[in-house]
Amino acid sequence: MRSFFAKYKIFAIVLLVLSVIIILVIYSILKPKEVLPVYQPNAVNAELVDSTIQYVKKYHTIGDFELTNQNGKTITPKEYEGKIYVADFFFTTCQTICPIMTDHMVEIQKKLKNDNDILLLSHTVMPEIDSVAQLKKYAIEKGVDDSKWNLVTGDKKQIYNLARKSYLAAKETENPYDLVHTENFVLVDTKKRIRGFYDGTDPEAIEALLKDIKILKAED
């Protein structure tokens, strides 16, 4: 009896290994691939969307822009072409949510520093205060990597329109160009589509964002 089992032991082990491999392959084929949603204006909280586009159900993308970064360089969508990026809105003298948001952006920058496919974009909502020089000072203080993260200033109307008509990330006020103070981080894919919203003050939301970036990279 022992000689029988000894004779077929190797065969049994090989059969077992092959069975495990086959089961894993079948599981990977049948398991649905994780895909992030594509956010359209009609599916986002109406308070965050400009009334002129609240009816839009498809094909929404981030609009064109021309702003200036902390180094005085003109930044347009061309700098983000073919890239996944995280966008937010802040101002350098903010003492409430912005310092937390910036610290979280620094954390994202650190964790993705070697990933050239991921960029960051922070828009000041107080361009009258946040000049190029002010943004540069802030960038140095916070350890901003110029090759990965742009802090941009420019025309106030353009920035506010981006917040509500492109990124769908800021509540409307009585004066359409009052302060846009939003904690939202917005995940944008290589086709300029919105793929996620995250609370930039919440550490757990930042972890979710980092996970979603991996999913998005696998999708693209």
pLDDT of residue 4: 47
Cβ atoms of 149 and 105 closer than 8 Å: yes
Give the pLDDT confidence score for residue 34 in this predicted structure. Answer: 85
CA 120 – CA 194 distance, rounded (Å): 14
Mean pLDDT, 10 residues at a time, over the chain (220 residues)?
53 58 54 85 92 95 98 98 97 95 98 96 96 98 97 96 94 71 94 98 98 92
Residue given tokens 């992030």 in the structure block: 36
Exposure pattern of 53-66 as b/e (b: 16+ CB <10 Å)? Answer: beebeeebebeebe
Say if CB 56 and CB 43 are below 8 A apart: no
Alpha-carbon dihedral 45, 196, 172, 157, rounded to 10 degrees: -150
Q: Quick: pLDDT tens for 114-145.
A: 999 999 999 999 999 999 999 999 999 999 99
- The predicted pLDDT at position 219 comes to 86
88 DSSP β-pair partners: 122
Entry pTM: 0.84
